[in-house]
Amino acid sequence: MEGVAFPKQIMFKVDYVVKPDDERYVAYCPQLDGCFTWGYTFEEAEDNIRTLIPQFLGVLIRHGDPIPLGIVEAHSHREKGKPAEAVTFSDNFAVPCSV
Examine residue 2 and state whether it is found in any structural domain, yes or no.
no
Average pLDDT over residues 73-79: 42
Pick the closest to residue 96 from 61, 71, 68 (CA basis).
61
Higher pLDDT, 48 or 5: 48
- Structural domain of 62: 9-96
Examine residue 27 and state whether it is found in any structural domain, yes or no.
yes
Examine residue 81 and state whether it is found in any structural domain, yes or no.
yes
Examine residue 1 and state whether it is found in any structural domain, yes or no.
no
**Other residues' Cβ atoms within 10 Å of the Cβ of residue 27:** 27
Residue 10 has a pLDDT of 76
Query: Structure pTM?
Result: 0.71
CATH number of the CATH domain containing 33: 3.30.160.250
What's the domain count of the chain? 1
Residue 61 has a pLDDT of 86
Examine residue 37 and state whether it is found in any structural domain, yes or no.
yes
> How do residues 10-64 score in pLDDT, each as one tens digit?
788 888 999 999 999 999 999 899 999 999 999 999 999 999 999 999 899 889 8
Examine residue 90 and state whether it is found in any structural domain, yes or no.
yes
Examine residue 79 and state whether it is found in any structural domain, yes or no.
yes
Q: What are phi and psi of 19, to 5 degrees?
A: -145, 155
> How do residues 31-46 score in pLDDT, each as one tens digit?
899 999 999 999 999 9
Cβ-count burial of 8 within 10 angstroms (0-12 exposed, 13-18 middle, 19+ buried)? Answer: exposed
Examine residue 3 and state whether it is found in any structural domain, yes or no.
no
